[in-house]
Structure 1
Amino acid sequence: MGLEQAPNKLSTKQAILAMVGISSGLMLSALDQTVIGNALPSIVADLDGFDLYAWVATGYLLMSIVTIPIFGRLGDYYGRKPFIVVACAVFTLASFACALAGNIYVLVIARALQGLGGGMLIGTAFASIPDLFPDNKERLKWQIFLSSAFSIVNALGAPLGGFLTDAFGWRSIFYLNIPLGCLAVFCAWQYIPWVRHTKSRDVSLDWLGALLIALALASFQLFIEQVPKSGLSPLVILLACVLLTATVCLVYRERRIPHPLLPPALFVAGSVRTLFVLSMLAGSVMFSLLYYTPLMFQGALGYSSQQAGILITPMVLSITLGAIINSKVIRHLHNPNWLPRGGFLLLAIACFGLAFSDLNTGFYLLLFFMLLAGCGLGFTLINLTLFTQNSVEKNHLGIATALLQSLRLVGGMLGTAITGSFIHFLYHQTLEKALINTGERAYLTELSDPNILLQAKQLAPSKLPLETAQQALLDALNLGWLALAVISLIALCVLWRVKPIILFK
């Protein structure tokens, strides 16, 4: 199956309109990531679902992880435009279902449907850029444009989510997606050119491989959540067996079939495999920060949803700042690897700063730590994409780009699941020990759910030792941030071994 000739060079007007269509779709998932992160504490408090706190996030990520490579491959066959249009429509309808959710289980299912739309978007939208702009310099310019649009909406999402949650309730954040979704459908349909890569109708997709990926990841997440609660129970042992079986079958299948969903050639020793690992590590840190810093700011430190949104804003806004600085500097570096190295170092410093925060840490110091984290991500994410696209053969360009995004979400899903279970376990252990020391163990049952800390300002004055619970939650979260700092340093060490990537010749 040979590729068709690349599309004619687009005029400036055509390029702008095409990228507006693509970025409009990505704005949906960008907005939802930060809006939902800041609203999560209020959502689980209202729907009484703290045990499923992580699933509201990871249900979305799990579905996205599976669908990104599938639709990345379908886009190679049929062109990416129709999938971008359908993805925007699916995401909009799923947002409406989220807004109407009456319990946490319905919300998790609706979030999974959002993940389906988000996976279609990510798997096709990012891969459209090398299709439309084969030249590296042009590609870098439009990658910066897309990353900037994505990050700006991320930045608006955090404070907007806090404001809407405080003023109109958490359901309003999902209603907000509906007009944006309609705009995205119109722009995508009207302006994105339909670029076909092959005339062949012989499409062979690895559906069984996709099922095995979903089974392995879902069982792994459930395994992580159940071990702290029930130890080596029959359920935990069953989940471990399912995980092992699905993983072995997946590896065996992907090596044997002619058109694997995960091409083994991309996972052999070399720069590409290392970049995939780095994408997972970056995703685990980024999503853990996005979903659990609101719990720290609201539950442990007592800030409102709106104040928490203001604290998160520097992180998502400085991703754009980091990307812009990156675009100006990278052209002049003999070894572009120095930029993502600096990014992981900034991430580690930010996580260390959060890990040593206490109940008296100043508002502006917290802002500074979030700013450092965002700049670190800005130096890291865009370069991982550029490095990958310049390290693979052209016939693997689309699937490699999709896999990089998918593996970032894998890292995010596993990171949030592990962080959530870790924090949940440590909170209970720390709280019980603190209440025993103060002779207030009788309050353990009432304080075992951190939701009560989110509602503290609405509660009538009581004898509950809320400060003790806040300190216990903060101690648990601080250990989580320390783990993320270590992950960032591990990523820095891994990246140090990658040979310099030549972007401009």
Structure 2
Amino acid sequence: MTITSREAPPAGQVLPFWESLMAMFGIAFVVMLVALDQTVVGTALPTVVAELQGFEYYAWVATAYLLASVITVPIFGRLGDYYGRKPFVMASIIVFTGASALCGMATSMPFLVLARALQGIGGGMLVGTAFACIPDLFPDSHVRLRWQVMMSAAFGIANAIGPSLGGVLTEWYGWRAVFYVNLPVGLLGLVFAWRYLPHLRHQSHAGPIRVDWLGAALIGLGLGSLQLSVELLPRHGFGAGTVGLLLLAVAALVGLWHWERRSPNPILPLDMFRNPGLAPLFLLAVLVGFTMFSLLLYAPLLFQGGFGYSPKEAGLLVTPLVVCITVGSILNGRIITRVRNPNAMLYAGFIMLALACLGLSQATRDMSRHLLLALMLVGGFGLGFIMPNLTVFAQQTAGRTQLGIATAMLQSLRMVGGMAGTALIGTLVDRRYADGVRAALAGAGANDWMPRLGDPQVLIDKAAQSGLLAQLHQAGHNGALLLEQARLSLVGAIHLGLVLGAVVAALGIWLARRVPPIKLERAVKQATMAAE
């Protein structure tokens, strides 16, 4: 049935103002749920690892979430195109908040990784459907950019309080509180989505739809095997297990390519990758995901493990990064409709992101905190200039029929980049830190202490440090010097990872030239929609 209301909707949107406002509040709470989780968990993660004893799972806490999201984002992006997005938005909130409760109850790192994977399923459902609700409600790109200020505000609130909240909760109530904080936010989002978000769907896609479950399974098998092989490579080298996982990943990804070419309803629409307007945007999404997730995950470890800051202090330093993503998005919305060449914002964003990574790769414990804050601010503005434009450009290029799947693919590929970034930099940090500590211990004739100092979690756990220093002193070693050398090894390892992030961002500057000139035109007519 068609939309009916006592008030005619303004041009460029499908609902009257009040209904649009309430619907956007519902979407904003959903977005806050995902943004809040990303920011508070990053700050608390070093403390989590120190308590649950498992630094080898450090990157997996993030990549398990991302891997599950990568698989579910395109599935529910496609289903939302056909059946409407509201039912999936509500289901995703339930899954996400339930998984958050499980994360808070984790008693070991493997338990936490599995709970984060379930949380990633809910997060993928959220991303695959909630972001695509906005162009459904506002087909006109100019109108959409004005309403997206609410989304930026939602991100702003979550990003402003997230890092500091994560640090405060971790210090005062323990790290489990950073997961439990999702429960009230999820409940509020569920109420608003159920009450105010309209059920919009395309009439032309009625009838049963077959989901490409085989394609989803091949994506999961390929990316999961690749991720696991990268994690095992530093510790086991090119052994039978690592090589077997690499071969399995290659076989799964090649099988995925052949299957998607002949699947009647592919989860990975290969024709979109051949679209000259969408392909470079997809590549840029991978690059920005690589750099963004690397910063969010390893900047807190640098500040806490490398510089000795408390979780609260680290949270305050990370805050400008995440807050300025929002501020940059708001400024971008004001600027991009007024400039002749909207593509220029992508160049500006990647330049700022590269400078932030490069500057942070030279940071030391003695560096002014104001300078550290400035570097995080520049990185945040860079991300704020990139991410909303990738979404708007892709939606403008894809058109109404592929809007949902294009938006989902963009978000999914950003998560693939995040997986690659956290895995590669995590492997690099793990290997370089271990080599540095091993060399320091060999020089002091203290090789037997490698199991204790070889795990960076000792640099975060103050109680463990006190006990270790006493034991080293009793054994006749200079414990303070060895601990400082371990700290310097961690800083150097993370610095190298941030240099890699800067190189990836610089590659984004070069690839941005392949994006065809975008012209943000006003919608001439709205797509035929139905509301239930």
TM-score normalised to structure 1 length? 0.96
In the TM superposition, what are the counterparts of 1:275-286 in structure 2 within 5 Å? 275-286=281-292
Deviation at 1:442, TM superposition (A): 4.4
Counterpart residue type for residue 161 of structure 1: G
1:410 to 2:416 alignment: yes
Q: Residues of 1 paired with 2:318 and 2:497: CA distance?
A: 17
In the TM superposition, what are the counterparts of 1:171-320 in structure 2 within 5 Å? 171-198=176-203, 200-268=206-274, 270-320=276-326
Q: 2:528 corresponds to which residue? A: none
C-alpha distance after superposition, 1:27-58 (max 9, x if no partner)? 11111101111111111111111111111111
Q: 1:400 corresponds to which residue? A: 406
Counterpart residue type for residue 483 of structure 1: L
Q: Is the 8 A contact 1:162 1:307 kept in 2?
A: yes
Q: Residues of 1 paired with 2:161 and 2:82: CA distance?
A: 35
Counterpart residue type for residue 360 of structure 1: D
Q: 1:164 corresponds to which residue? A: 169
Q: Is the 8 A contact 1:284 1:413 kept in 2?
A: yes
Unpaired segments ≥5 residues, structure 1: none
Give the match's secondary structure for 2:202.
coil
Question: Which residue, out of 38, 48, 51, partners 2:53?
Answer: 48
C-alpha distance after superposition, 1:331-356 (max 9, x if no partner)? 22111111111110001100111111
Counterpart residue type for residue 502 of structure 1: K
Q: Residues of 2 paired with 1:408 and 1:251: CA distance?
A: 19
Deviation at 1:436, TM superposition (A): 3.2
Count of residues in correspondence between the two structures: 503
Q: 1:106 corresponds to which residue? A: 111
Deviation at 1:444, TM superposition (A): 2.8
1:353 to 2:370 alignment: no
C-alpha distance after superposition, 1:170-220 (max 9, x if no partner)? 011111111111111111100000112135222021110000000011001
1:33 to 2:38 alignment: yes
C-alpha distance after superposition, 1:395-429 (max 9, x if no partner)? 11110011101111111111111111111001111
Counterpart residue type for residue 499 of structure 1: P
C-alpha distance after superposition, 1:38-91 (max 9, x if no partner)? 111111111111111111111111111100110111111211011111111111
Q: Is the 8 A contact 1:212 1:249 kept in 2?
A: yes
Q: CA RMSD in A?
A: 1.7
Give the match's secondary structure for 1:368.
helix
In the TM superposition, what are the counterparts of 1:290-439 in structure 2 within 5 Å? 290-439=296-445
Q: 2:518 corresponds to which residue? A: 501
Q: 1:470 corresponds to which residue? A: 487
Counterpart residue type for residue 330 of structure 2: I
Q: 1:82 corresponds to which residue? A: 87
Deviation at 1:154, TM superposition (A): 2.1
Counterpart residue type for residue 477 of structure 1: I
Q: Residues of 2 paired with 1:355 and 1:499: CA distance?
A: 33
1:447 to 2:464 alignment: no
Q: Percent identity?
A: 47
1:130 to 2:147 alignment: no
Deviation at 1:434, TM superposition (A): 3.2
Name which one, 1 or 2, has greater alpha-carbon Rg.
Answer: 2
Deviation at 1:458, TM superposition (A): 6.2
Deviation at 1:4, TM superposition (A): 8.8
Deviation at 1:113, TM superposition (A): 1.1
Pair 458,248 (structure 1): closer, same or farther in 2 beyond 3 Å: closer
1:92 to 2:97 alignment: yes
Pair 436,4 (structure 1): closer, same or farther in 2 beyond 3 Å: farther
Unpaired segments ≥5 residues, structure 2: 474-478, 523-532
Q: Is the 8 A contact 1:90 1:117 kept in 2?
A: yes
TM-score normalised to structure 2 length? 0.92
Question: Which residue, out of 476, 498, 501, partners 1:481?
Answer: 498
Question: Which residue, out of 20, 24, 29, partners 1:24?
Answer: 29
Deviation at 1:264, TM superposition (A): 1.5
